[in-house]
Amino acid sequence: MSIAHLPSTVASDDNLLLRGATLIDGTGGAPITDAELEVRDGRVVYAGPARAAGADGADIVELGGRTVLPGFIDSHVHFGMSIEDQMADAARFGSERTLRTALNARKALMAGVTTARDLGGLDRGYRDAIAAGLVQGPRTHLAIAPLSPTGGHTDFTMPNGRSVQMHMPISPIIDTEDDVRRTVRTLIRSGADVIKVCTTGGVSSPSDTPDDIGVPEEHVRLIVAETAKRAGQPVAAHAQGAEGIKAAIRGGVRSVEHGYGIDDEGIELMLEHGTFLVPTLSSALRVPDPAAVPAYLYEKKVKWSAIARERVAAALQAGVKVALGTDSGVCPHGENLREPVHAVELGLSEMDAIVAGTKNAAELLRLDADLGTLEAGKLADFIVIDFDPLTDITPLAKPDNVKVVVQGGALVKDTDSWFGTDPVRPLLAQ
């Protein structure tokens, strides 16, 4: 799939050479010390060991003692949501919600996330505004509205019939085959890059549980067949309980989101089908303040956090293909690189956690021809830090420790002015 929805990059005469840093290129290969990274016209033209000749006419930035990594990809966000702020959000005007959404996207970019997949709540206007450089944020793929049946995970209706305030651009309820076809076609017409289905209930929804079956396997198959008629949009499944996870995999989804209660049979199915797991550990392992969320949510969160810690760790140990995603909006925005830290906590190596948040995530989004690794020909998305994440990855969790963010060759963050006087042109004034 060709790259889409890109923000503006640098002008054609820009040429940048980074020297002296350790390069972790995202492929999983050994880090390269005293490396060079050359960028021209917003793309990488060289990434590897220092060369004798360097690059003629390039702006040179010396980064001795620092580490360069690919920009991270958060495969599961909700920029327009804050689950611990629902009551206040219900009273806000739509214009304020829009501005807060833009701020959440910018927080992710400043944390080191240069690409993200929003799996419910945003229409294509947000994606297009970022691509046009009107606001700063990760280039974004959209699901627009996650699909579930009546009483399912995205039916935001309390048992008494009153609606919980969750803003969706398109009605997410599908109960019949006609509903499935019509809604999927509407989502694609509206610009969806991915179709999200909820094959189980959830922790945050008011009238179901993660063990409940949501969208059934036969409807998942129908959705996959509908997307095959268009651009082959991947299907992502919110799936937390064991049976719904297996229904999603058998139905042909590309990724299982959450996967908290996956059993051994589900793990074998993921390995057999090559299905990605996006474990959203930043959300799974975090139990919110009980005063900030409804009682039903808190009680489910305590139970399912413990289950996820055990079962997701088993899936990671078994070698399922992992792409990182935080579920920000359910957890705080702007702390996105806490996710690789949690992945290491549950059993991935530091290098595998980095690959899961870069190379693997790019493959999941079908952007791996342009993103995910620092190799010649790829877009120049990278971050610079002043520590070794292979020795201790925990500092990545704090956005202030990500000193430089470059997106498509454009400098969008330079905390300590390592890049001097504008060697690359920023998207917007900092």
- Which DSSP state fits 122? -
Beta strands in 58-166 (DSSP E): 59-62, 67-70, 72-77, 113-118, 139-142
Pair 195, 219: CB distance under 8 Å:
no
- DSSP string covering 195-228: EEEESB--SS-SS--TTSB-S-HHHHHHHHHHHH
Select from 252, 272, 247 the least CA-distant residue to 262.
247
Q: Examine domains 15-71+373-414 and 73-364 and report if their fold is the same.
A: no
Look-up: residue for tokens 């989804």? 253
What's the pLDDT score for residue 164? 67
How far is Cα 192 from Cα 57, in angstroms, rounded to an integer?
Answer: 42
CA atoms within 13 A on the CB side of 34: 4
Fold held by 73-364: TIM Barrel (3.20.20)
* Weakly modelled stretches of the chain, pLDDT under 50: 1-13, 423-430
- DSSP string covering 232-284: ---EEEEE-SHHHHHHHHHHT-SEEEE-TT--HHHHHHHHHHT-EEE--HHHH
Which element (helix H / strand E) includes 406? strand 404-407
Pair 278, 364: CB distance under 8 Å:
yes
Look-up: residue for tokens 């206007």? 125
Q: In CATH, what is the architecture of 15-71+373-414?
A: Roll (2.30)
Kindly list the domain boundaries of the chain, sorted by start residue. Answer: 15-71+373-414, 73-364
What's the pLDDT score for residue 54? 66
